[in-house]
Chain A
């Protein structure tokens, strides 16, 4: 069974091939949907089967992963001997099943499948139905490559592939102006990050000559000194590699400073936001950091950097989310914020906490996005919450699933988010990083607040839209509500695999084999007392419920939008800053983008003016000069030769003309002389 591992990523690619090329414009929507959802569904089932097969197998028992290499993709031959004496660099096309990739596989295929189903309903009236599912399947294939690859190169292929699909799907409504721009913004920002990622890979190759996880990580663990020596730019080698790869994660997972693309990515269809920008693609950075944990453990300063960035991003995004009026934007900033939590955890060495939060976040954030999609669908495309309100009675299924998702996001027990978020805060507190803990706690408060602000504005109170919109309000079809229900189940129950008590934290134990513990490095598990844990738990619960309640108070039924209006009046400057997202986009525009455009313009001027001038004028001058030379040559040399011939002939003829005098006497004399000469020659030579 496990030998069919390679089939899992291939299936969605097959779906994309069929829908995108072979059967393009040839089959009806039902068939398209069947192919798209079918491939992902089968991949999901197959994934589960393979996971169980692996779990019962010998590799898992030995704390190893199961590898399947299809072929040697880049047999580049022996490089110089690596620092620890191993030669040869090859990159296989291969896949790996181990606890970490199993978790990712499950999340990606499960959530992906239900989002596919949801899209059938959501995109039912769109002309680009087949195109959408082609791209979606393509994305699934790339994402599966990313998480299942057994080496960094395959991961990178998937990394780039999901970036491409993100661009394709954000810009799905290409006929409008903004979506293509947003797609470009996403892709280019990603590429900036990818540059760093690739640098890190190069450094790894030059040091170890391999990029396969099962070869690389054990060797690093065995020779940590290879990476703790000096690297570049004042960092250790490990630090350099870690920061380079983290730059890639910054881009892909929307951390400061490369997060700016994610809010604009909401221009894409809502299922895209759910799948790519909540559940899967953006989590690729977290996956990568966790996968590379052995490197990060050898670079403690960079790990701390990762944690700080994550924490800063978390609170930064949360503050922006407070004043957003577009329902999807609220969720987008929320995603950035939650990703920050994951990196906070990863940076502190709590890798399993990060992955745990990744998993729970995938469920409830996908749920929230799909729910918002349902709302938007009912509102006929309206996304502004100020025009919503009181939708609860019109779409109860959507409402209740949305509430469950919001509760999970806010960290209300016993929903899933509570457990994962608490574990992260606990690891911060347990490690003595009180500032990080405090910021994280504040962020949690803000999260709860803005989440239920959104809930109230959307579903409760009076309807604030137009009459046509009110008439149009309806619950979504089953193709959309069933996935909501399924994901809601996940949002509720997924937390129970990671209970806060150590010996009951199944998730943590599950991921143990993937986390390297290098003696003398890395975050040791801090043992904390039960009291400590309980206090933390209590604080978390109080904060979460408290701010949720506050949100209800300020935005509840009667209040409506009045709080927003009042806040704006009382804190106009602060409001303006937040509403304009701290003017970060404007800053980038002026500096980076402006610089790039200026450079482009200069180069253009150089090209058009100098190069063209040089080439064009130069060619012209050269040709003209050559033509002139040619002309001269022809006129003086060639014609001169002709004239010379004529002159010579003329000279000769002048001489010879004198032979023909007409005088007989002349002829007679010449005759006599000639005869005389002949005889003389004869006589003198032959002597008579």
Chain B
């Protein structure tokens, strides 16, 4: 199993994905959560590329581009929300986002 096959890449992808999910669920700092989201998206990209290579299909890479695009947009917006929330609650902890009114 030393030889690297698609399976190895998938393992990486899955690991990263799991770590990312864990980060989203377990961490209280909003910034860390956003970063964990980026991890998840990255894991997806790895997966796509792995299969693109496996199937000799360019579609995987194209899809990955779009994923990156979306990730970027989402990161921007997420950070914007964070700024807004920070202005409101003076903290980046998710505890401040529990009771949101108005």
Interface residues of A (CB under 8 A from B): 661-665, 668-669, 672
Q: Quick check: A665 and B94 within 8 Å, CB to CB?
A: yes
Q: How many A-B residue pairs have CB under 8 A?
A: 25
Q: Does B90 lie at the interface of the complex (its beta carbon under 8 Å from any beta carbon of A)?
A: no
Residue-wise interface mask of B (55-87) relative to A, using a CB-CB cutoff of 8 A (1 in contact, 0 not): 000000000000000000000000000000000
A117 to B31, CA, bound (A): 138
Q: Quick check: B24 and A668 within 8 Å, CB to CB?
A: yes
Give A665's nearest chain B residue, CB to CB: B25
Chain A's interface: helix, strand, loop or mixed, by majority? helix
A664 to B30, CA, bound (A): 10
A663 to B27, CA, bound (A): 11
Beyond contacts A662-B97, A663-B94, A668-B33: 15 other A-B pairs, Cβ-Cβ < 8 A, are A661-B98, A662-B98, A662-B99, A662-B100, A663-B98, A664-B94, A664-B97, A665-B26, A665-B28, A665-B33, A665-B94, A668-B25, A669-B25, A672-B21, A672-B24
Give A664's nearest chain B residue, CB to CB: B94
Interface residues of B (CB under 8 A from A): 21, 24-28, 33, 94, 97-100
Please name all residues of chain B whose beta carbon is closer than 8 Å to the beta carbon of A661 when the two chains form the complex: 98
Please name all residues of chain B whose beta carbon is closer than 8 Å to the beta carbon of A668 when the two chains form the complex: 24-25, 33
Chain B's interface: helix, strand, loop or mixed, by majority? helix
A664 to B99, CA, bound (A): 11
Please name all residues of chain A whose beta carbon is closer than 8 Å to the beta carbon of B99 when the two chains form the complex: 662
A288 to B22, CA, bound (A): 126
Please name all residues of chain B whose beta carbon is closer than 8 Å to the beta carbon of A664 when the two chains form the complex: 33, 94, 97
A545 to B24, CA, bound (A): 153
The distance from the CB of B20 to the nearest CB of chain A, in whole angstroms, is 10
Report 17 cross-chain contacts, Cβ distance below 8 Å, ordered by A residue: A661-B98, A662-B97, A662-B98, A662-B99, A663-B98, A664-B33, A664-B94, A664-B97, A665-B24, A665-B25, A665-B26, A665-B27, A665-B28, A668-B24, A668-B33, A669-B24, A672-B24
The distance from the CB of B37 to the nearest CB of chain A, in whole angstroms, is 9
A662 to B95, CA, bound (A): 9
Please name all residues of chain A whose beta carbon is closer than 8 Å to the beta carbon of B21 when the two chains form the complex: 672
Q: Quick check: B25 and A672 within 8 Å, CB to CB?
A: yes
A291 to B99, CA, bound (A): 120
Please name all residues of chain A whose beta carbon is closer than 8 Å to the beta carbon of B27 when the two chains form the complex: 665
The distance from the CB of A483 to the nearest CB of chain B, in whole angstroms, is 123
Give B100's nearest chain A residue, CB to CB: A662
A662 to B101, CA, bound (A): 11
Please name all residues of chain B whose beta carbon is closer than 8 Å to the beta carbon of A665 when the two chains form the complex: 24-28, 33, 94
The distance from the CB of B6 to the nearest CB of chain A, in whole angstroms, is 15
A663 to B26, CA, bound (A): 11
A661 to B24, CA, bound (A): 16
Please name all residues of chain A whose beta carbon is closer than 8 Å to the beta carbon of B26 when the two chains form the complex: 665
**A-B pairs, 4 with minimum CB distance:** A662-B98, A669-B25, A668-B24, A672-B21
A661 to B97, CA, bound (A): 11
Please name all residues of chain A whose beta carbon is closer than 8 Å to the beta carbon of B25 when the two chains form the complex: 665, 668-669, 672
The distance from the CB of B16 to the nearest CB of chain A, in whole angstroms, is 14
Give A676's nearest chain B residue, CB to CB: B21
A664 to B82, CA, bound (A): 13
The distance from the CB of A16 to the nearest CB of chain B, in whole angstroms, is 104
